[in-house]
Amino acid sequence: MVTFFATWCGPCLKELPHIQQDIFEKYQDNPNFTLLVIGREHSKEELAAFKVEKDFSLDFIADPERQVYAKFAEQFIPRNYLIDRDGKIIYSSTGFNEDEFNQLKKILEDQLKI
């Protein structure tokens, strides 16, 4: 799973606790799961301070120049992608809403049962 966010983004701040609790904490030890949480336009130092301030256990990846983000999109965050074992994007979402997030969780759960 690949997630793009920014520390100043309101919907991102609503979504990140759900990513930590409902996805990261559930699947972090699953060898078939990897979570990349990418801070768009943020430095390593900014993300480290944000992690401490908000008490996240997630690891954040800095993308200060949007080099990674540009490979996926031009605008809008939060943005999530589920990528299957074959490298195919099987789900994507933009913004945060609980129904869509529940759909993401269901697809992820189904994929990890395979």
Q: What is the CATH number of the domain that holds 73?
A: 3.40.30.10
**Are the C-beta atoms of residues 6 and 77 closer than 8 Å to each other?**
yes
Domain membership flag for residue 77: yes
- Our count of domains for the chain comes to 1
Domain membership flag for residue 82: yes
Q: Residue 79 corresponds to which tokens in the numbers above?
A: 């943005």
Domain membership flag for residue 114: no
Tens of pLDDT along the chain (114 residues) come to 999 999 999 999 999 999 999 999 999 999 999 999 999 999 999 999 999 999 999 999 999 999 999 999 999 999 999 999 999 999 999 999 999 999 999 999 999 986
CA 75, CA 100: separation in Å to the nearest integer? 19
Domain limits at 52?
2-108
Domain membership flag for residue 113: no
